[in-house]
Structure 1
Amino acid sequence: MKKLVNLIKDKHTDNGIDINPSATFSEIAEFENKIGFSLPTDFREFYLTCNGFGCNEDMFNMVFLADIRTYQQDYEYKWFYFSEYMNYSDMWGLRRSETGQFEIFNGSYPEKSMTSSLTEFLQRFLKGNVFDNGGLYEWHDEIGIK
């Protein structure tokens, strides 16, 4: 996860990116208690690497844990929005299904699962940001979200 975050940082250094310091174990535990489930391993690794980041490219953000907790509309029991662009014009969330499976979904199309992997999500952002070739919106098209 550290390598992936560093690659994203390096790609966006010229355009502007702010990487937050890592979250503490207690901050993660408090967050998990609030959302009602333990985070998947790659989410824990991400938040222990950096507690979110803000990228000027497409105004894309991986949301700081405290910001998620602050805004009730951005989480419920068993799900939360972890990423957004253009000041919450679109969002991506993580939910835990009744069977215990994790699903990343787009906030505009919550009935469709994109992946269960934050690593895969971040690799798509690294490849094509939100709108470019190979990015998040092209991924939406590939899996039939739009």
Structure 2
Amino acid sequence: MAIKDIINRIKTDKAKLGITLNAPASFSDIVKFEEILHITLPDDIKTFYSFSNGFESDEDMFRIIPLEEIVDNMKERDTYTESNGDFHIAEYMIYCDMWTLHVDSNDSNQYNIYNKTVNTIVLTNSFSEFLTVFMNYGVFEGLYTWRENLENKTK
């Protein structure tokens, strides 16, 4: 599913999904974010943030983190990231757990979203897939089950 399809689903079903959208990030907000973090966001993630600068949900207080909050979070080194340029793009229960974005420095459209607890499990290289799993199954039956299934495959 493409990011535009995800956006259309959120527009149509946001009440049913329990999602409260933030105002869109402007083009200049996105450019400023990229300049501060010395990163180019993947195209699909730029498209999403142009639609909504993150969102909050009723599902265990799961959120897609707004750009300015990501910048604030980068001020201190985080042991839940694998490398210095990585940043949390989603969280739940006020940062009880986070999902992190790693963007390839040579190709911004090559990225992965991972979750790090004791070990790091890469969930996907698609923001659309990440959002689809959350919207279809939630945090526990969706994101955590997905992580658990992937972790079991690597054992």
TM range (shorter): 0.7 to 0.9
The alpha-carbon deviation at position 86 of structure 1 amounts to 0.6
- In 1, Cα distance between the equivalents of 2:105 and 2:118? 19
Q: TM-score, normalised by structure 1?
A: 0.84
The amino acid that maps onto 2:149 is E
Residue 102, structure 1, aligned to residue 98, structure 2? no
Point out the more displaced range, 47-56 or 89-98.
89-98
Count of residues in correspondence between the two structures: 144
* 1:85 alignment counterpart: 92
Moved over 3 A (4+): 8-12, 73-77, 97-101
Q: Let me know the Cα RMSD of the aligned residues.
A: 2.6
How many angstroms does 1:60 deviate by? 0.4
1:97, CA displacement in angstroms? 4.2
Aligned partner letter, 1:29: V
- Does 1 or 2 have the higher relative contact order (CA < 8 Å, sep 6+)? 2
Change (3 A) 1:16 1:120: closer
Structure 2 letter corresponding to 1:54: E
Aligned with 1:48: secondary structure?
helix
In structure 1, what residue type is equivalent to 2:41? L
Unaligned stretches of 5+ in structure 2?
A: none
Residues 14/117 of structure 1: CA separation in 2 closer, same or farther (3 Å cut)? closer
Identity %: 36
Distance 1:5 1:109 in 2: 33
Higher strand proportion: 1
Contact 1:9 1:17 in 2 (8 A): no
Aligned to 1:55: 57
